[in-house]
Structure 1
């Protein structure tokens, strides 16, 4: 799933090179299993609730909606890759490695985005009955 999200213009081998390079870089920085770091990063970023726009009587309301685990993981991976693409660094390999490490530690742009989504859901809790 991660490979297919990284891939652009059908270049799957390049996507694999990016992932393997990021995993090597994580291993050299932390001296731990990089798959554990990847799992921990995705687990910390995965949201339980998102807000969806619904039109009710002519006005648009942000309605909090619970999402499943598969959809939450897909959203977390999308957010991780989006944040690593926005990062200013020498290559996508280093950007992805740094973003995964930050997310696993509980900091970074992705964690901030997740907290922002939770704040939006909490602020619009009054509209939860419009599901």
Structure 2
């Protein structure tokens, strides 16, 4: 029997930037169904990025997209039990899942920061991701190093 594929979700554009990509990020940022709060956090973070950027000519939305691109992992490792040992097998990630993993990684690392409010945490994490620094970029590099170290097991695909 042929496998049924999940329908692709359509996201409505957000009110300020008119971008469905922003809505997708806000949905990952949202907790307990409080979407207006998530939008407020995101928009305050974008305003904070506008204040932070010095001589950067890009808009805050472009900085956010560039930061997401810097955080996006291309491979991941999955555990598989082979002969009494767990082996980490590197697997490439589909383009849709890459973006989701990047968004969740950026949000998770911004939560762990020491700033006062969530919008400040998110703004500084996005800014550091844009510059190629920060915890989220380190985690992405760590994922890639794990996949590179276990490249010998790549023929054990699922």
Query: What is the TM-score when the length of structure 2 is the normalising length?
Result: 0.80
Deviation at residue 54 of structure 1 after TM alignment: 1.0
Structure 1 unaligned blocks of 5 or more: none
Alpha-carbon distance between aligned partners in 2 of 1:78 and 1:22, rounded to the nearest angstrom = 16
SS at match of 2:154: helix
Runs of 4+ in 1 over 2 A off after TM superposition: none
With 54-63 and 118-127 compared, the bigger mean Cα shift is at: 54-63
Task: Give 2:89's aligned residue.
Answer: 63
- Which of structures 1 and 2 has the bigger CA Rg? 2
Deviation at residue 70 of structure 1 after TM alignment: 1.1
Alpha-carbon distance between aligned partners in 2 of 1:42 and 1:54, rounded to the nearest angstrom = 29
Deviation at residue 57 of structure 1 after TM alignment: 2.3
Please state which structure has a larger fraction of its residues in helix. Answer: 1
Task: Give 1:82's aligned residue.
Answer: 108
Alpha-carbon distance between aligned partners in 2 of 1:58 and 1:129, rounded to the nearest angstrom = 18
Structure 1 segment 18-97 matched on structure 2, within 5 A: 18-30=41-53, 32-97=58-123
Structure 2 unaligned blocks of 5 or more: 1-23
Q: Work out whether 1:124 is the aligned partner of 2:150.
A: yes
Aligned length: 131
Alpha-carbon distance between aligned partners in 1 of 2:146 and 2:155, rounded to the nearest angstrom = 16
Alpha-carbon distance between aligned partners in 1 of 2:43 and 2:75, rounded to the nearest angstrom = 31
Alpha-carbon distance between aligned partners in 2 of 1:69 and 1:45, rounded to the nearest angstrom = 13
SS at match of 2:115: coil
Alpha-carbon distance between aligned partners in 2 of 1:6 and 1:119, rounded to the nearest angstrom = 27
Higher relative contact order (CA 8 A, sep 6+): 1
Alpha-carbon distance between aligned partners in 2 of 1:48 and 1:7, rounded to the nearest angstrom = 25
